[in-house]
Amino acid sequence: EVVLTQSPATLSLSPGERATLSCRASESVGSYLAWYQQRPGQAPRLLIYDASNRATGIPARFSGSGSGTDFTLTISSLETEDFAVYYCQQRSNWLTFGGGTKVEIK
């Protein structure tokens, strides 16, 4: 099973700041990695697929990078609605999710 480790567990930032979230895989997943956002009480929403492609309707402030075992989700300037939990997910070898990073208001 591919284990995805997300860091940090919690990120405390202010609106307008840049957020950098990390996802590390226990083995190479190529570019087969996605990022999701989950707001409280809501279902997850696909943000990024294949490591760096924005899903339909996702604002340009969200960007993804990386390949192999190390991936990054960057939010260039945090809006109020971006404070949420973010999960990475791989589809290279079955399907697994990371444990999540909570982005909270500082």
Taking the complex as a whole, how short is the minimal distance between the CB of residue 27 and another protein, in angstroms? Answer: 15
For residue 86, state whether it binds another protein (rule: CB under 8 A).
no
Site string for another protein, 19-58 (x = CB under 8 A): ---------------x-x-x----xxxx--x-----xx--
Distance of CA 61 to the CA centre of its chain: 13
CA atoms of 8 and 5, how far apart (whole Å): 9
What six digits make up the tokens of 38? 């989950």
| Half-sphere exposure at residue 78, Cβ-oriented, CA atoms within 13 angstroms | 19
Minimum CB–partner distance for residue 15 and another protein (Å): 25
Task: Name the minimum Å distance from CB 44 to another protein.
Answer: 6
- Contact predicate 20/67, CB 8 Å: no
Q: Is 5 helix (H, G, I), strand (E, B) or coil?
A: strand
- Residue 91 in the binding site for another protein (CB under 8 A): yes
Query: Nearer to another protein by C-beta: 19 or 85?
Result: 85
The upper half-sphere exposure of residue 14, i.e. CA atoms within 13 Å in the direction of its Cβ, equals 0
Binding site for another protein (CB under 8 A): 34, 36, 38, 43-46, 49, 55-56, 87, 89, 91, 94-100
